[in-house]
Amino acid sequence: MVARLNQIIAVEKSVKSKSFADLTDAHHAVQKTGPLAGISRTYQPKDEEGEQLPPESTRVQIQAEEILRQVSHTLTRLFDVTATKDWANCTARADIVVDGRTVAAAVPVTYLLFLEKQLVDLHTFVKKLPVLDAAESWVRDDSTDSWRTEPVRTIRTKKVPRNHVKAEATDKHPAQVEVYYEDVAVGYWTTVKFSGALPAKRVNEILDRVVALQAAVKFAREEANNAEAVDQRVGAAVFGYLFG
């Protein structure tokens, strides 16, 4: 039965985990000198009347050569699965199609994975783009290559002191005068605001395109991962050379 690339990818993670665990166990096993060592000794008294002692022996519990065979077996599976995936990745391709338009044709699956990650960052970037203040009315100003508001005219005022006579002067008392300030128009401000931000509509359009492209790339990746994966047998050759 011919496997699909997506099936190989699904299996690869568990094979990697098992291989790492087995290799770690094997590494720890060969570091223990005790189980690798064995001994056999017998006792013979000097004469027939001497004390008789039973023989002593300790069997070798770990064979390094057997550990090598186990490591070879475990890693051969990993090497073959990874090779099958990488060989298939060389031929797994798909078109990126958005709304019937082919944005890119025959894109390798590895590049589709790259695009997926980049588009996540781009989505975050576009969402943070500066937007024109909705409280203002903006028009395009080609002379400054920016946006501007219509001129708004406002009055500039200045506080001018005025005297208010509360009580007229008499021959006995001076006049009682209160000073107050009056806002008097002295000129006019004409204000035009400029901005390099973007209209909300423009930002939303770009966001929609990013989302549509993200969906198209994911669809293309799934399609590419559905390609047939021909079993590769690399592990046996590698370990046949290493441990043979």
Let me know whether 18 and 61 are in one domain.
yes
Let me know whether 54 and 4 are in one domain.
yes
Helices (H), the chain: 5-31, 33-36, 64-91, 109-127, 200-224, 235-243
Q: Residue 84 domain-assigned? A: yes
Domain range for 35 is 1-92+229-244
Let me know whether 98 and 87 are in one domain.
no
* CB-based contact 176:167 (threshold 8 Å): yes
Let me know whether 100 and 41 are in one domain.
no
156, two tokens: 């500039």
Amino acid 98: pLDDT? 96
Let me know whether 52 and 87 are in one domain.
yes
Amino acid 42: pLDDT? 85
Let me know whether 123 and 220 are in one domain.
yes
Give the pLDDT of the chain (244 residues) as one tens digit per residue.
568 888 888 898 899 999 999 999 888 887 877 777 788 888 888 888 788 888 888 887 778 788 888 899 999 999 999 999 999 998 999 999 999 999 999 999 999 999 999 999 999 999 999 999 999 999 999 999 999 999 999 999 999 988 887 777 777 778 787 888 899 999 999 999 999 999 999 999 999 999 999 999 999 999 999 888 889 999 999 999 998 8
* Domain count across the chain: 3
Amino acid 1: pLDDT? 52
Let me know whether 88 and 8 are in one domain.
yes
Amino acid 243: pLDDT? 87
Let me know whether 242 and 130 are in one domain.
no
| Closest to 183 in 3D by CA, of 157, 202, 150, 203 | 157
Let me know whether 183 and 203 are in one domain.
no
Amino acid 107: pLDDT? 95
Q: How far apart are CA 141 and CA 149, in angstroms?
A: 9
Amino acid 72: pLDDT? 93
Amino acid 57: pLDDT? 81
Let me know whether 71 and 34 are in one domain.
yes
Let me know whether 75 and 104 are in one domain.
no
Q: How far apart are CA 225 and CA 113, in angstroms?
A: 11
| Closest to 228 in 3D by CA, of 89, 112, 97 | 89
Q: Residue 146 domain-assigned? A: no
Q: Residue 27 domain-assigned? A: yes
